[in-house]
């Protein structure tokens, strides 16, 4: 979208309203689920065992972006449902 200079104040106001709404939804979700278990995440060792792969093979697949991951600290955490050995 392109805005004219005159439209910018209204566009920014609308954007602020949407961000505030998102913040409220996130806060509400956090209050309703304060300690949601993270059973959907696996360490690299758990993912390798689940997929019947060696850890080095799993690292290779991760480096080739064949398996999606989130990196936390020193461990790779992989959603198990995004990939199944087959």
Question: How many domains does the chain divide into?
Answer: 2
C-alpha radius of gyration, the chain, whole number: 20
Which among 54, 34, 51 has a CA at the least distance from the CA of 42?
Answer: 51
- At 13, the pLDDT band (50, 70, 90 cuts) reads very high
Residue range(s) defining the domain that contains residue 16: 7-36
Is residue 47 domain-shared with residue 78, that is, in the same domain? yes
Q: Is residue 54 part of a domain?
A: yes
Q: Is residue 2 part of a domain?
A: no
Is residue 49 domain-shared with residue 70, that is, in the same domain? yes
The number of C-alpha atoms within 13 Å of 18 and in the hemisphere containing its C-beta is 6
Task: Give the CA distances from residue 78 to residues 18, 52, 64, 83, 84, in Å, rounded to whole numbers and listed in that order.
Answer: 31, 14, 14, 9, 11
Is residue 60 domain-shared with residue 75, that is, in the same domain? yes
Is residue 12 domain-shared with residue 30, that is, in the same domain? yes
Which one of 34-38, 75-79, 81-85 scores highest in mean pLDDT?
Answer: 34-38
> Alpha-carbon distance 40 to 37, whole Å?
8
Over the stretch 28-68, which tens digit does the pLDDT of each residue have?
887 887 665 555 677 788 888 888 899 999 889 888 988 87
Instruction: Indicate whether 85 pLDDT > 60.
Output: no
pLDDT at 79: 54
- At 17, the pLDDT band (50, 70, 90 cuts) reads very high
């Amino acid at each position: 979208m392109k805005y004219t200079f005159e439209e910018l104040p209204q566009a920014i106001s609308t954007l602020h309203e949407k961000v505030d709404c998102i913040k409220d939804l996130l806060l509400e979700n956090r209050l309703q689920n304060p300690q949601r278990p993270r059973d959907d995440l696996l360490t690299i060792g758990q993912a390798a065992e689940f997929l019947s792969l060696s850890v080095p093979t799993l690292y290779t697949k991760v480096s080739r972006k064949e398996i999606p991951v989130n990196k936390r600290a020193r461990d790779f955490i992989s959603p198990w449902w995004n990939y199944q050995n087959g």
